[in-house]
Amino acid sequence: MHQFGVYRNRNDQTRSLYPLLLNVQSDLIEETGTRVVVPMVAVVRGRRPPAISSLAPIVDVNGRPHVLAVPLLAATEVADLGAREADLSSERATILAALDLLISGI
């Protein structure tokens, strides 16, 4: 599983709310059987933007904007990650800034 890879959510209980998951776990830590992920939500017209945009940045996935729901950071089983849909390595600075804000408040 590639760090900053966007994967299809295979978990039946959460897939309808969060169809995509961003893997933020280091590639060096693979033997755990789990991955730390950020749920992603497609931007929908009429939906209010996130209150703190740097904590929930909007990124492009295959030509469509998605919100990274960083406050919902979670661990999931590798089996819950389906096909890789995109690579957000180019958004590394934005993703790490959002994680830093969540964890350290700065």
| Domain definitions of the chain by residue range | 5-104
Determine the average pLDDT of the residues in 11-34. 94
pTM of the model: 0.92
For 54-97, the pLDDT digits (tens) are 899 999 999 999 999 999 999 999 999 999 999 999 999 999 99
**Spatial CA neighbour of 67 closest among 41, 44, 91, 88:** 41
Q: Please check the confidence at residue 2 and state whether its pLDDT lies above 90.
A: yes
Q: Does domain 5-104 have CATH number 3.20.20.70?
A: no
Query: Residue 30 has what pLDDT?
Result: 83
Query: Residue 82 has what pLDDT?
Result: 98
